[in-house]
Each structure stands twice: as C-alpha cells, then as structure tokens.
Structure 1
Amino acid sequence: MKRWYLLYCKRGEQARAKMHLENQGLECYYPELEVEKILRGKRQSVKEPLFPSYVFVYFDYEQGPSFTTVRSTRGVTDFIRFGAHPKEVGSELIVELKSLERSQSECDTGELPQKGESIRVTGGQFAGIEAIFQESDGEARSIMLVNLINKQVPVSIDNKDLDI
C-alpha cells in the first residue's frame, strides 16, 4: 500500500532530488509559494519552498523501490524517522497543503488599493491620519504619503494598520 514519507534533502537540492525520484516513478510533492522579493534592485515574483530542504514522496516500499534505494537517490540525505523506521505522513496533510497552495495561487493582490487612493490609517504612530497609497512594500507593508508640516512624506506602514 502506498504511503507518504518525508525526505530531508541536501541544502538547495530539493528540485534535483524531486527530479531523480520522479525518474524512478515515484510521486513527489514539493510545496512552493510565490513571494515578492527585490532582486538586483527590481521587484520580482519568486517561487520559494514552503519547507526548505524537505520533499514529500509517495510510494509502496514493499513493491519497490526500497527505502535504501530512495535514500540513496541523488540530492536526498535521509528519511525523517522516529526510531529505526521512516515515519509515515498522513495523506490528509498532503491534501491540505495542496489545497492551501492552490488557494494561494488563485488569490490575487486585488486587496491593496490603487496608487493615489486615499486611506485612513487606523493603528500605529500615524493612527487617525489620511494617507495616500503609493505602492506595496513587500507582503506586510505599504508605502503611504503622509502630510507632515504641509509636505507629503513617504512612510512605510503595516498593512494591518490601514483601513482597506
């Protein structure tokens, strides 16, 4: 009977391990999230692993391949174990992770206002002030223009402190 197991991979070699495991006919799951990062001065969307250095693998060790064969796959360090035997991972966890990954990819950034839109700041040091939305500053903050002494000054404010 096929079961899910968790593999620990060499640092930065999860994709290689996944490729070699799939070449052996095994089903693999390597959850990734798309995050926005500033790389070389430019804002880019990058896929990053949800669990760095870990890959889920689905196979039946009785029908093959064996634990030893999987463990010796290029890029793999070892199974996650409790005692002498690799620990099984519940299939409910994999289903839940896959549904979360799908919902994250379907979700768009339509929650943030448009550039130039006026927003009330509800918390933090600028609570109660009207500010003008400029741009997103990563996942949790936004650049807002705040009127200070008759001059608009760009300020980074937590999104949770904004009345969106």
Structure 2
Amino acid sequence: MGKLLKTGWYVLYVRSRHEKKVDNLLKESGLESFLPLVKTIRKWSDRKKTIEAPLFPSYVFVKINSAKDFYKASSIEGACTFVRCGGQYALAKEDEIQKIKLFLGSEDITNINNDRHDLEIGEIMLIQYGSLAGLECEVVKVNNENKIVVRLNSINQSITATIPPQFLSKISKAV
C-alpha cells in the first residue's frame, strides 16, 4: 500500500443522510464496510416511529487493504472524503470496531448514542456480566442513571449507554 497509508479501518465522511446508501455501494463494490446503526424513536406531532439511525452521523468505516481500495472507496457516490486528524487519515483500531459491534449486539445495554463532547473524568469500571463482560468503561452520572462511556480516541468520539449498575465493578479512580 504506499508509505502514507496503513491497512485498517478508515473513517469515510459521507453526505448527510447518505450513510446507508454509501455502505451498500461499498459492499457492492467488494469493500468491507461497517455502518453502526442504533434504534431510536422519532417523534412527530401525530405519531412516534422506531427507526435505525447511524451512531456516528456522516461516518462509514471502511476496511482499506490497498491504495486501490482507498481510491475505490473515495469514488463511491455520496462519499465526500476520508476523515483526517492532525494531518493524517483517521484510522480506527480493530479493537475499537469490535467494541462498537459489542455495544450494538448487546441486549443488556439501552439508550446508545454517541457523544463528541469531552465528559467529566469519572470512575473506570469493569463490566462483569452480560455480553460486554471484561470490557473497561468510564461511568458518568446523568439524570440519576448509570451511563457508561467507551472512548474511541483514534476518531475523537465516545459512545454512551445505560447499563445496570450490578453489572459493574470498580477498577480505579481516573486522574
């Protein structure tokens, strides 16, 4: 692949509300892509509806193995550019992708959403039970609910979710 690009999960920035279309086009072109979707309730004046919305609006993760894959992904209809952090292309780590997949696949966790804002540093906890057992997280109190936060430092994002407090055990106090 060239000197500037490494193999891995790159973050493709896409046109607003084109995430699902771009994800499908990437898969049709033979590229491995990942679009994390969460179920959310949208309210209108006359009704409520449950829909699947992107966890990270305008982002689609693409597994890039060669320069050819890089250019193929960037030429997909609806794709704008690859996300850059500090002058380099944002590269999500494999374990971060796995954390997102674990979050989305767990029935024990509710109210999943992402949070771009820096949260107050809280206690670092270990999830003891459920499908996320063994995963470290940070706990943040919001409206008297226990919210856990998993930070994805490589793309400057965080995922928050509600988890039962009995699933957690204390590790240490963050500094």
TM-score interval, smaller chain: 0.5 to 0.7
Shift of 1:48: 1.3
Tell me the equivalent position of 1:9. 14
Distance 1:108 1:41 in 2: 29
Aligned to 2:97: 94
| Deviation readout 1:21-53 (Å, 9 max, x if unpaired) | 111111111111111222352222111111100
- Aligned with 2:61 (options 49, 56, 65): 56
Partner Cα separation in structure 1 for residue 9 and residue 15 of structure 2: 19
| Bigger Rg, which one | 1
Aligned residue identity for 2:99: E
TM-score scaled to structure 2, two decimals?
Answer: 0.54
* 1:126-145 correspondence runs (5 A): none
- What is the aligned residue count? 109
- How far off its partner does 1:56 sit? 0.3
Corresponding residue SS for 1:44:
strand
Which amino acid is the alignment partner of residue 71 of structure 1? S
Unaligned runs of 5+ in 1: 110-157
Q: 2-side partners of 1:59 and 1:101: how far apart?
A: 23
Instruction: State how far apart, in whole Å, the 2-side matches of 1:94 and 1:108 are.
Output: 17
Instruction: Give runs of aligned pairs for residues 148-163 of structure 1, distance below 5 A.
Output: 160=144
Does 2:40 correspond to 1:35?
Answer: yes
Aligned partners of 2:77, 2:27: CA distance in 1, in Å?
A: 12
2: CA distance, partners of 1:98 / 1:50:
11
Q: Give the AA of the match of 2:41.
A: E
Task: Find the residue that maps to 1:97 and give its secondary structure.
Answer: helix
Match of 1:78 in 2: 81
RMSD: 2.6
- Inter-CA distance 80–33: structure 2 relative to 1 (3 Å threshold): same
Q: TM-score, normalised by structure 1?
A: 0.57
Q: Contact 2:103 / 2:109 at 8 angstroms: preserved in 1?
A: no
Structure 2 regions of 5+ residues with no counterpart? 1-5, 111-141, 146-175
